[in-house]
Structure 1
Amino acid sequence: MINELQKAQDLMNDGQYMPAVTILQNINGLSPKAENYRLLFMANCWYKLGEYQWATDISDNLLQKDEHNELASQMKYLSCCELKDFDNALEEIVRFLSFNEADIYKVTLEELLTDIKNGFINEQAIVSKIKELALKNNCLK
């Protein structure tokens, strides 16, 4: 089963997302950690294939099992952005960073601060929350 995960990852690395999905959909009986990887790989494949709702749903499923999975949270955030569902995208980043430290999200926070500075985000409650999270994660310049 782990060999199947590796095979799927190799296909993903080669940009062959649909064959990777086929393998990932047929893997059963994994340990919880390996199952998290399977779901993360599936979400990534669907994202790369432009199936953003599926990527969102799978990421959400993974986050219900592992609320500290920053990659799954960011996949959900990015998928919501692609769906132009900016409220849910911001809700996800706020949800995740309210009880986790930012690692890969630091770049996203910096981008959101730039969007605030450029006037693209101006709803005061959202601006305040983003600035609070940026300060908490040492992202204020």
Structure 2
Amino acid sequence: MTPLQKAKDLMDNGQYMPAITILQNLNGLSPKSENYRLLFMSDCWYRLKEYDWAIDIADKLLQKDEQNELASLIKYLSYCNLKDFDSALAEIIHFLSHNEADLYKVTLEELLTDIKDGFINDQDIISKIEGLALKNNVLK
């Protein structure tokens, strides 16, 4: 079993700190394995409620792989848990401006509902959300 798989098994068993210890000590990985290492580490920090660490590491992964929707989702959820809703919304808009949605489709639907219910009033943000919803076939 590789150290990366060992860390994943620990994560699956809720043992996030031991997984982080393994992940922090891994080096010389292939680019694909390095992306997994960063994703796993970001997920561990998120589950430990260390949202700033989760955001920082997810951001490092997104610099290498801007299409990594899981890393973007970890950033979004971390910002939400920090009650930094402007940054959370900015993360969604940034990701969806450059990529197609899969995991974010439900979030786009919720944002459209928030617009309809009057919770989002900024016309620039509304326009961006509606454009992204149209691009991702979310508008009904």
Fold match, TM over 0.5? yes
Greater mean deviation of Cα atoms: 62-71 or 116-125 = 116-125
- 3-state DSSP class of the match of 1:97? helix
**Deviation (angstroms), 1:108:** 1.2
Match of 1:107 in 2: 106
Q: Could you tell me how far apart the structure 2 residues matched to 1:116 and 1:12 are?
A: 37
Q: What is the TM-score of this pair, normalised by structure 1?
A: 0.94
**Deviation (angstroms), 1:73:** 1.1
Matched, 1:62 2:61: yes
Residues 60-114 of structure 1, C-alpha deviation per residue, up to 9 Å, x if partnerless? 1111111111111111111111111111111111111112111111111112112
- 3-state DSSP class of the match of 1:68? coil
Letter in 2 for 1:44: D
Q: Could you tell me how far apart the structure 2 residues matched to 1:134 and 1:98 are?
A: 10
Q: Tell me the number of residue pairs that the alignment of Structure 1 and Structure 2 aligns.
A: 140
The gaps in structure 1 that reach 5 residues or longer are none
Residues 3-29 of structure 1, C-alpha deviation per residue, up to 9 Å, x if partnerless? 111111111111111111111111111
- 3-state DSSP class of the match of 2:27? coil
Letter in 1 for 2:94: R
Greater mean deviation of Cα atoms: 66-75 or 31-40 = 66-75
Q: Could you tell me how far apart the structure 2 residues matched to 1:4 and 1:121 are?
A: 45
Q: What is the TM-score of this pair, normalised by structure 2?
A: 0.94
Q: Could you tell me how far apart the structure 1 residues matched to 2:58 and 2:124 are?
A: 26
Over the aligned positions, Cα root-mean-square deviation in angstroms equals: 1.2
Q: Could you tell me how far apart the structure 2 residues matched to 1:112 and 1:7 are?
A: 38
Identity of aligned residues (%): 75
- 3-state DSSP class of the match of 2:2? helix
Q: Could you tell me how far apart the structure 2 residues matched to 1:43 and 1:70 are?
A: 13
The gaps in structure 2 that reach 5 residues or longer are none
Q: Could you tell me how far apart the structure 1 residues matched to 2:113 and 2:45 are?
A: 29
Match of 1:24 in 2: 23
Match of 1:13 in 2: 12
